[in-house]
Amino acid sequence: MQETFNTPKSASSANQEPIKPELAQLVTEFNKRGFVILRAAFDPSQVSLLQNKILSRAPNDLKWRIKYAGGEISIREASNVYTSIPEAKALFAHSPVLSVIRAILGEPIYLYRDAYVEKAPNPHATFPLHQDSEFWDIRPSRLVSLWVPAQDSNSTNGVLEVVPGSHLAHQPHVIKVGSTIALPDFINNILRKFANKVTGEKNSEKKTGLLRFLIVRLGNFINGTVFPFLSRNFKPFEKFTELFVIKNDADYWKQTELHDLKIGDCVVYHSETIHGSKGNFTGNSRGAYIPSFMGESFMRNGVAVSDPSLGYVRIDGWET
Q: Is the pLDDT of residue 184 over 60?
A: yes
pLDDT of amino acid 190: 65
Please choose, from the candidates 196, 133, 186, 160, the residue with its C-alpha nearest in 3D space to the C-alpha of residue 280: 160
pLDDT of amino acid 21: 74
Asked if residues 117 and 287 have their Cβ atoms less than 8 Å apart, the reply is yes
Size (the chain), residues:
320
Asked if residues 169 and 273 have their Cβ atoms less than 8 Å apart, the reply is no
pLDDT of amino acid 70: 74
CA distance between the termini of the chain: 33
Average pLDDT over residues 279-296: 97
Each residue's pLDDT tens digit, 201-239: 333 334 445 555 565 556 555 555 555 444 444 444 344
CA distances (Å), origin 183, targets 124, 177, 187, 235, 245: 23, 7, 7, 23, 11
Measured CA to CA, the distance from residue 305 to residue 314 in angstroms comes to 9
Q: Which domains does the chain have, with CATH numbers?
A: 4-171+248-315 (2.60.120.620), 173-246 (no CATH)
Average pLDDT over residues 108-114: 96
Asked if residues 128 and 235 have their Cβ atoms less than 8 Å apart, the reply is no
pLDDT of amino acid 57: 87
The structure's pTM equals: 0.81
pLDDT of amino acid 247: 83
pLDDT of amino acid 202: 36
pLDDT of amino acid 261: 98
pLDDT of amino acid 54: 95
Average pLDDT over residues 8-36: 74
Each residue's pLDDT tens digit, 79-91: 999 999 999 999 9
pLDDT of amino acid 65: 84
How many Cα atoms are found within 13 Å in the side-chain-facing hemisphere of 126?
12
Q: Lowest-confidence range among 13-27, 262-276, 278-292?
A: 13-27
Average pLDDT over residues 241-245: 67
Rg (CA), the chain: 19
Q: Is the pLDDT of residue 320 over 50?
A: no
pLDDT band at residue 43 under the 50/70/90 scheme:
very high
Measured CA to CA, the distance from residue 105 to residue 201 in angstroms comes to 28
Measured CA to CA, the distance from residue 163 to residue 161 in angstroms comes to 7
Measured CA to CA, the distance from residue 255 to residue 239 in angstroms comes to 27
